[in-house]
C-alpha cells in the first residue's frame, strides 16, 4: 500500500525543486501535431478495421457535434486481386475493381504509420483539394 502511494506522489516531489519559470515552461509544452492531411493511417476499429487510409482533413479541437479530435479519412475497402495472364478479359476486369471509403474517425481509432505516399519529398500531394479545407 505504501509503495502505491509513493509512486503516485513521486512525480510531484520530483519537479518541486525546479524554479517557477521552468515549471511554467514544462506545463506549456505541447505534443507536436502529427495527424496532418496526407498522413497514412491504419484504421483500428469499426467496419474498416485493418484497412489503410489517408487523412484528408483533421480537426484537432473537435466540433459541437463531435467534441473530440477526429479526422476525415479516405481509403481502400476492397483491394484488387491477383491477375494472371491465363485469365480472360471479363475475369481480369472483375478482379481489378477497387472499392473506396470515406469516413470520419476519432483519433483513438487511427494508428499513424511512417509511410509517405508518393515517395519522399512529394510536395503536391493534395494539390487537388480546395484551399479552404
Q: Tell me, what's the pLDDT at 83? A: 95
List, run by run, the mean pLDDT of 10-residue segments along the chain (133 residues).
Answer: 47 60 60 78 92 90 85 92 95 94 92 75 54 55
59 exposure class (CB count in 10 Å sphere: 0-12, 13-18, 19+): middle
pTM for this prediction: 0.62
Q: Tell me, what's the pLDDT at 19? A: 65
Q: Tell me, what's the pLDDT at 90? A: 96
Q: Tell me, what's the pLDDT at 101? A: 94
Q: Tell me, what's the pLDDT at 80? A: 93
Amino acid at each position: 500500500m505504501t509503495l502505491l502511494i509513493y509512486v503516485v506522489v513521486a512525480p510531484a516531489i520530483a519537479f518541486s525543486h525546479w524554479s517557477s519559470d521552468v515549471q511554467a515552461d514544462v506545463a506549456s509544452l505541447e505534443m507536436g501535431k502529427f495527424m496532418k492531411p496526407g498522413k497514412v493511417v491504419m484504421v483500428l476499429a469499426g467496419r474498416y478495421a485493418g484497412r489503410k487510409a489517408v487523412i484528408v482533413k483533421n480537426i484537432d479541437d473537435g466540433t459541437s457535434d463531435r467534441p473530440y479530435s477526429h479526422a476525415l479519412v479516405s481509403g481502400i475497402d476492397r483491394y484488387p486481386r491477383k491477375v494472371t495472364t491465363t485469365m480472360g478479359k471479363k475475369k481480369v476486369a472483375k478482379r481489378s475493381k477497387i472499392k473506396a471509403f470515406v469516413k470520419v474517425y476519432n483519433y483513438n481509432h487511427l494508428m499513424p504509420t511512417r509511410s509517405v505516399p508518393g515517395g519522399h519529398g512529394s510536395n503536391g500531394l493534395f494539390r487537388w483539394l480546395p484551399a479552404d479545407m
